[in-house]
Structure 1
Amino acid sequence: MLIQSVFAAAREVFSPALRRILWKSIGLTLALLVLVWLGLTKLFDIFLTNHDLSATYPIIDSFAFFLAGFGLFVALVYLLPAVSAVVAGYFLDDVAEVVEHKDYPADPPGRALPFGKAILYGIRFAGLSLLVNLVALLLFFIPGINIGAFFVANAYLLGREYFELAAGRFWPAEDVARLRVEHRGTVLAAGAVLAGLVLVPVVNLITPVFGAAMMVHLHKKLTRGRAAI
């Protein structure tokens, strides 16, 4: 069931029907990452200026700038799931409409989430993801735990977010939560796929569209034969 959903999403993510949405999603993701990068760089620059390391310890100053580049890159990796959450909330309905129309034409179409609600969903999960990944970032220098903590935390968060966004087009919030708990193992496994995708440079930029398409398929398979309210 999950494997079928993964392959279906992989086939569709670069299809003509989703290509325009994919490029827009990548553009928004990159724009948000650039904004985060500029913000972090500015904060680090202010810190170095206020502490005036160059005047007293020029070697430490140079080393600090070297670590800043690497450190900011690592920080962006840990922040990517939160950025993905915002982008997914913005584009999920567009992706879902394409997938539902193409692959499930006989089924009643889902109801698009109100724009404000979709964005709030994304921001809510982005905030939770940011908090969890900041904790995971603190474990970065502990071998054997750092990647594991990042992977497990994001498998749960991404699986939960994308499933709730996809299922929310058909079910009230309380039923969405019930379905997620009922199929928590499958939802977690789907989240693990997305968490693994986030770890792959460049390819991780397709996470919002791929994740939305995959979870639409998975939700359809999990609820086949059950009437949505």
Structure 2
Amino acid sequence: MSAVFAAIVKAFGQLGDRAVTAVLAKSIVITLLLFAMVGAGVYFGLAGAASRYGVAESWAGLATAVLVPIAMWLLFRIVALAVLQFFADGIVVAVEVRHYPALAARARPLPLRREAVVAIRGAMRALGANLLALPVAALLVFTAIGPAAVFLAVNAVLLGRELTDMAWLRHADGADSANPVSRPERVLLGAVIAGMMLVPFVNIIAPVIGAAAGTHLVLRRLDARGGKP
């Protein structure tokens, strides 16, 4: 398990790399633009409904101000991770080149179409699992930490898989090759990153830290095998 925390420390140490900051900046801008578009859509939709039923439009603004932050809290990790997956190669390559140059030479970059498919599938899995967890979280809403614990558990499993697959797919030898990172390590990584995503401002860098740490975990295993998948 110490390998997970070592990978996270190394990931933080690489935040200053130009390639990493470029991916971080693009991911943040696109994620915030998506939520801004959602917010505008919600406002104009509510404003149209308000005028149709003779309700003051100020209520549309108030409802938007309440609903959009809730949506961001619930969906930020899903949207941010889906966006990051389109640029994941930048993070993976930065880690490979700096820490695992021999493995970097053997990697096979994913075509854009494959990246899009992986990102969409990951987002659908995350959205579906979180929606299924929502009723359970609602039952625990009156407890101190019940809902947060439910979403943390669900996303620990999901994120651990997605964050290590970003690197593994560049090195996997065929579709049947198993991810070399053990399930406990993946879950622990996912839990740490999911926890970071619950913290304001820290949640902005959490997906990038997770992608870099997941890359370290994968390549550390491959390096120990002599580069063999």
**Relative to 1, partners in 2 of residues 1:35 and 1:133: Cα closer, same or farther, differing over 3 Å?**
farther
**Aligned-partner residue type, residue 99 of structure 2:** D
Aligned length: 220
**Aligned-partner residue type, residue 162 of structure 2:** E
In 1, the alpha carbon distance for the partners of 2:55 and 2:122 equals 38
Kindly indicate whether residue 135 of structure 2 is the aligned counterpart of residue 134 of structure 1: no
Matched residue, 1:89: 85
- Contact map agreement 2:133 2:150 (CA 8 A) in 1: yes
**Aligned-partner residue type, residue 26 of structure 2:** K
Matched residue, 2:69: 73
- Contact map agreement 1:78 1:137 (CA 8 A) in 2: no
Matched residue, 1:216: 215
- Contact map agreement 2:7 2:217 (CA 8 A) in 1: yes
**Relative to 1, partners in 2 of residues 1:176 and 1:52: Cα closer, same or farther, differing over 3 Å?**
farther
**Relative to 1, partners in 2 of residues 1:68 and 1:29: Cα closer, same or farther, differing over 3 Å?**
closer
Unaligned runs of 5+ in 1: none
Unaligned runs of 5+ in 2: none
Matched residue, 2:187: 188
Which of 29-38 and 42-51 deviates more?
Answer: 42-51
Matched residue, 1:151: 152
Superposed displacement of residue 128, structure 1: 1.9
Superposed displacement of residue 129, structure 1: 1.5
Q: Secondary structure at the match of 1:72?
A: helix
**Aligned-partner residue type, residue 85 of structure 2:** G
**Relative to 1, partners in 2 of residues 1:176 and 1:33: Cα closer, same or farther, differing over 3 Å?**
farther
Q: Secondary structure at the match of 2:102?
A: coil
Matched residue, 1:228: 228
Which of 34, 37, 44 is the equivalent residue of 1:35? 37
Cα distance per residue 1:112-170 (max 9 Å; x no partner): 11111111111111122122223444535723321112111111111111111211110
**Relative to 1, partners in 2 of residues 1:41 and 1:152: Cα closer, same or farther, differing over 3 Å?**
farther
Q: Secondary structure at the match of 2:150?
A: helix
In 2, the alpha carbon distance for the partners of 1:35 and 1:176 equals 38
In 2, the alpha carbon distance for the partners of 1:39 and 1:82 equals 19
Matched residue, 1:102: 98
In 1, the alpha carbon distance for the partners of 2:162 and 2:53 equals 41
**Relative to 1, partners in 2 of residues 1:43 and 1:197: Cα closer, same or farther, differing over 3 Å?**
farther
**Relative to 1, partners in 2 of residues 1:11 and 1:165: Cα closer, same or farther, differing over 3 Å?**
same
Kindly indicate whether residue 157 of structure 2 is the aligned counterpart of residue 160 of structure 1: no
**Relative to 1, partners in 2 of residues 1:36 and 1:67: Cα closer, same or farther, differing over 3 Å?**
closer
**Relative to 1, partners in 2 of residues 1:191 and 1:46: Cα closer, same or farther, differing over 3 Å?**
farther
Matched residue, 1:111: 108
In 1, the alpha carbon distance for the partners of 2:159 and 2:47 equals 32
Kindly indicate whether residue 8 of structure 2 is the aligned counterpart of residue 9 of structure 1: no
What TM-score do you get using the length of structure 2 for normalisation?
Answer: 0.83
CA RMSD of aligned residues (A): 2.5
Matched residue, 1:123: 120
Identical positions, percent: 30
**Relative to 1, partners in 2 of residues 1:39 and 1:217: Cα closer, same or farther, differing over 3 Å?**
same
Superposed displacement of residue 68, structure 1: 4.4
- Contact map agreement 1:167 1:219 (CA 8 A) in 2: yes
Which of 42-51 and 102-111 deviates more?
Answer: 42-51
